[in-house]
């Protein structure tokens, strides 16, 4: 398969993936740092390069509502948002998943207000982690492109909506080399959008969004949970199909390196995986047996592969860009601890919260953390002892 190598930002790569997907409907309301996805794709539509019904909605809530209607009618549907936009969609997120609609949404991860901040962290999507959407976090521009294509395949076979998350500015606005697949190859991989008869415009008449009273509501929710439980299998099948078709191998749930003999393992989500993996390698050079685990799919949570990767590790350090404000640390740390709780011998655990509001993670901070030995508990990297704490 012939590929072309280009330099694109994360937003441009996602917009290009959308063009190759050829969605029937895109409904969106631009918001920083996701604006360029919609902006660039609207240019493709205006220039006649893609035959898509583009809905410029009056708000993010309206945008996702339009997506729900289009997907219920059997359309292949895409959208994008970030931060407060995703928060405004919150009500409709549950409707999309409860109706089992295969909508794909790219989220340019950005901090939530207040105070206002337009830079990247994972607070927005972590606030929506229990809305019934599959959540996949990209490591690089290439990863964001690949996983946007894969997400359509997975969503339509799992009959669940999927978020593909890319870190705001760190990926959305960073120029990286990208291997672009031919348009025809993308179309062959995706095929036609399967309807299975469950659309407003196909097969026998159906009811969408009925009232469910106490005698039936729980059955609907259990069926949704069962669908999410099947996602790892669908993801594995999708990754195999992607590798066979494009020659590109993707980890589906987690990406673990050097954990076989590790005494300490660093666990991370998103674009800082490169920096964290390099820190683990530098620790190896210093004689410290360090491993690296990148969580790729946060929903459904990859409990089994994490247990396999971390079962023999003495120290686990989770590095994450969100906080639950519960006193227990961040959402990734809480769930990693829960996943490892049933191990016969549990590792000592440190949850490091870093990079909120786009603050950089420096190599020396990672190196010092490993050299000194993880302290255990919850650490807010770079602000302990700061005058900001006086505001509490």
Q: Average pLDDT of 282-302?
A: 98
Domain boundary residue, one of 246, 274, 308: 246
Cα–Cα distances in Å, from 60 out to 19, 87, 91, 163, 208?
Answer: 21, 9, 11, 15, 22
Return the closest-CA partner of residue 338 out of 313, 314, 305, 303. Answer: 303
pLDDT of res. 204: 81
**Do 71 and 196 share a domain, yes or no?**
yes
Q: pLDDT tens digits, residue range 131-176?
A: 999 999 999 999 999 999 999 999 999 999 999 999 999 999 999 9
Q: pLDDT tens digits, residue range 238-277?
A: 999 999 999 999 999 999 999 999 999 999 999 999 999 9
pLDDT band at residue 193, thresholds of 50, 70 and 90?
A: confident
User: What's the predicted TM-score (pTM) here?
Assistant: 0.97
Q: pLDDT tens digits, residue range 3-20?
A: 999 999 999 999 999 999
CATH of the domain at 107: 3.40.50.970
Domain boundary residue, one of 226, 246, 266: 246
Domain count within the chain: 2
Do residues 29 and 86 make contact, with C-beta atoms less than 8 angstroms apart?
Answer: no
**Do 242 and 261 share a domain, yes or no?**
no
Domain that holds residue 21: 4-246
**What H or E segment, with its residue span, contains residue 84?**
helix 83-88
Q: pLDDT tens digits, residue range 325-334?
A: 999 999 999 9
**Do 264 and 184 share a domain, yes or no?**
no
**Do 379 and 353 share a domain, yes or no?**
yes
Q: What are phi and psi of 105, to 5 degrees?
A: -125, 125
Q: pLDDT tens digits, residue range 53-100?
A: 999 999 999 999 999 999 999 999 999 999 999 999 999 999 999 999
């Amino acid at each position: 398969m012939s590929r072309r190598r280009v330099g694109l930002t994360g937003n441009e790569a996602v917009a290009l993936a959308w063009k190759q997907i050829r969605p029937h409907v895109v409904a969106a309301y631009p918001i920083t740092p996701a604006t360029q996805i919609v902006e660039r794709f609207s240019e493709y539509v205006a220039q006649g390069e893609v035959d898509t019904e583009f809905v410029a909605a009056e708000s993010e809530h309206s945008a996702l509502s339009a997506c729900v209607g289009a997907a219920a009618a059997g359309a292949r549907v895409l959208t994008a948002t970030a931060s407060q936009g995703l928060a405004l969609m919150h009500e409709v997120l549950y409707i999309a998943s409860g109706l089992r609609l295969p909508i794909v949404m790219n989220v340019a991860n950005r901090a939530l207000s207040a105070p206002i901040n337009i830079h990247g962290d994972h607070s927005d999507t972590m606030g929506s982690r229990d809305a019934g959407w599959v959540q996949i976090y990209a490591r690089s521009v290439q990863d964001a492109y690949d996983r946007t294509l894969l997400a359509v395949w997975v969503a339509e076979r799992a009959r669940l909506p999927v978020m593909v998350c890319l870190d705001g500015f760190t990926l959305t606005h960073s120029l990286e080399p990208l291997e672009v697949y031919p348009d025809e190859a993308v179309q062959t991989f995706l095929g036609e959008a399967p309807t299975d008869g469950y659309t407003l415009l196909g097969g026998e008449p159906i009811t969408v969004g009925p009232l469910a009273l106490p005698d039936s509501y729980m059955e609907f929710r259990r069926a949704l949970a069962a669908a999410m439980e099947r996602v790892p299998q669908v993801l594995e099948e999708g990754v195999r199909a992607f590798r066979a078709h494009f020659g590109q191998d993707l980890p589906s749930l987690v990406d673990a390196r050097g954990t076989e003999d590790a005494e300490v393992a660093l666990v991370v989500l998103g674009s800082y995986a490169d920096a964290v993996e390099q820190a683990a390698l530098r620790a190896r050079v210093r004689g410290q047996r360090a491993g690296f685990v990148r969580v790729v799919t946060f929903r459904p949570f990859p409990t089994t592969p994490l247990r396999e990767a971390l079962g023999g590790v003495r120290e686990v350090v989770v590095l994450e860009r969100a906080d639950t404000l519960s006193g227990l640390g961040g959402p990734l740390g809480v769930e990693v601890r829960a996943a490892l709780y049933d191990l016969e011998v549990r590792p000592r655990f440190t949850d490091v919260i870093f990079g909120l509001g786009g603050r950089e993670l420096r190599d020396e901070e990672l190196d010092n953390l490993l050299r000194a030995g993880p302290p255990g508990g919850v650490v807010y990297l770079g602000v302990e002892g700061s005058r900001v704490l006086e505001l509490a």
